[in-house]
């Protein structure tokens, strides 16, 4: 009996991230949208508005459906130990209190441990948690927690700046006002120099 001389390499299968299927019933949503608009006194009998309930249903279904992706990671063979930072990732979410959009940017950084991440995946993680009824504080924390759990980096930092249409267009009507949230883990939170570096690199890109 012979044994293989090839060193055993543990296969690292990328984690396939499939968002939970909310089971959208588009036909029921269309009926409800028609009832909703009619109840608000908006007649649907013009050619332009006739299909609006169907479009509304499809639009919200899309806003609540993040795309599946593979969390591709690579061994950190070079021992890279500086911050990896993706800045100005678009954030497109929906406030769960008013069901109006909030939009802005996220800056997501991590200090690599044993694995590094395909860079585009940081944007996919943001989308994973943005495309659902959300509040900005939870979105920020969920992105940081998820990366901490699945990548096991030495630290994670997430900063989100967004304008909430429920604040811009109604209520206080504070157009242009933005909300800033952050979530830090590991040495990005606990090491003063790393924390200062992360915040300097992220807040320098923020709109005043």
Compare residues 83 and 139 and give the one whose CB is closer to Zn ion.
139
Q: In what order do the strands lie in the sheet with 101-111?
A: 133-134, 84-95, 101-111, 155-164, 179-185
Compare residues 101 and 113 and give the one whose CB is closer to Zn ion.
101
Residue of the chain from 37, 166, 199, 201 that contacts Zn ion (CB under 5 A): 166
d(CA 170, CA 148): 36
Compare residues 98 and 154 and give the one whose CB is closer to Zn ion.
98
Compare residues 113 and 133 and give the one whose CB is closer to Zn ion.
133
CA dihedral 119, 125, 127, 128 (to 10 degrees): 150
* Position of minimal CB gap to Zn ion: 166
Q: What residues between 1 and 60 interact with Zn ion by CB under 5 A?
A: none
Q: C-beta of 207: minimal distance to Zn ion in Å?
A: 20
Q: C-beta of 59: minimal distance to Zn ion in Å?
A: 17
* Token duo for residue 129: 């948690």
d(CA 78, CA 148): 21
Binding-site size, Zn ion (CB under 5 A):
4
Positions marked catalytic: 95-98, 136, 164, 166
Site string for Zn ion, 93-112 (x = CB under 5 A): --x-xx--------------
Q: Quick one: which segment of 54-62, 84-92, 141-149, 158-166 binds Zn ion (CB under 5 A)?
A: 158-166
Q: C-beta of 96: minimal distance to Zn ion in Å?
A: 8
Q: Quick one: which segment of 68-76, 90-98, 120-128, 151-159 binds Zn ion (CB under 5 A)?
A: 90-98
Residues forming contacts to Zn ion in the complex (CB under 5 A) are 95, 97-98, 166
């Amino acid at each position: 009996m012979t044994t293989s001389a090839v060193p055993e390499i543990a296969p690292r299968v990328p984690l396939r991230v499939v968002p939970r299927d909310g089971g959208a019933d588009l036909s029921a949503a269309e009926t409800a949208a028609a009832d909703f608009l009619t109840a608000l006194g908006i007649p649907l009998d013009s050619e332009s508005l006739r299909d609006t309930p169907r479009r509304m249903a499809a639009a919200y279904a899309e806003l609540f459906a993040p795309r599946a992706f593979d969390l591709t990671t690579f061994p950190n063979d070079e021992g890279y130990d500086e911050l990896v930072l993706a800045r100005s990732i678009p954030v497109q979410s929906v406030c769960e209190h008013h069901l109006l959009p909030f939009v802005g940017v996220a800056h997501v950084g991590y200090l690599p441990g044993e694995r590094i991440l395909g860079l585009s995946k940081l944007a996919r993680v943001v989308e994973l948690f943005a495309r659902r009824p959300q509040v900005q504080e939870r979105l920020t924390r969920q992105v940081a927690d998820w990366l901490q759990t699945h990548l096991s980096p030495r630290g994670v930092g997430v900063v989100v700046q967004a304008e909430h249409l429920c604040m811009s267009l109604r209520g206080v009507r504070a157009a242009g006002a933005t909300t800033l949230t952050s979530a830090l883990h590991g040495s990005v939170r606990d090491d003063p120099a790393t924390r200062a570096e992360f915040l300097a690199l992220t807040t320098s890109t923020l709109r005043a």
